Amino acid sequence: MPHTEPTSADNTYVVLGETLRPMLTNAMGSSIEIFDTTGTPGGGPPPHTHKWEEVYVVLSGEMDVHVDGTTRRLRPGDYAHVPANTPHGYTTIDETRFLTIVTKGNAARFFKQVSSEVEMNPPDIAGVVRVGAQNGINFLP
């Protein structure tokens, strides 16, 4: 029988203007993690790298995805792949709902730790960078 996590507010993370709801995580025994992500206009992480791959699949709204110096606008049904160790980030254009899919790494641990330890209103960027470093995420200048 597959393991599932409840979808209560206790399992929703708020990070840099986004709400992430874990659907599947490494802690459940999976080699991939999937997050139902909702971003607000202008939201998204600054440029960064990490050792895991990432895929964004837009369900509604629009977002600009920046991968290794190239920017692409994604609309519903579009997706972007980010190879491991590649500089990337994104900006949500409006109320954007998308899936964030990552390979084995520390994404869920990072989101949970930032959501519980770092002030987000206004965002404590130094705190996000600190927690990122603890989880193998390198934020770029």
Q: What is the pTM of this model?
A: 0.90
Per-residue model confidence as pLDDT tens for the chain (141 residues): 333 343 444 589 999 989 999 999 999 999 999 999 999 999 999 999 999 999 999 999 999 999 999 999 999 999 999 999 999 999 999 999 999 999 999 999 999 999 999 999 899 999 999 999 999 999 998
**Domain 9-109, second-level architecture:** Sandwich (2.60)
pLDDT at site 17: 86
Residues 17 and 38 sit within 8 Å (Cβ to Cβ): no
Give domain limits for the chain. 9-109
Walk across the sheet containing 32-39 and list its strands.
13-15, 18-24, 32-39, 96-103, 54-60, 79-82
Q: List the beta bridge partners of residue 33.
A: 102
Give the chain's radius of gyration (CA, Å): 14
**Which alpha helices (DSSP H) does the chain contain, by range?**
107-117, 125-134
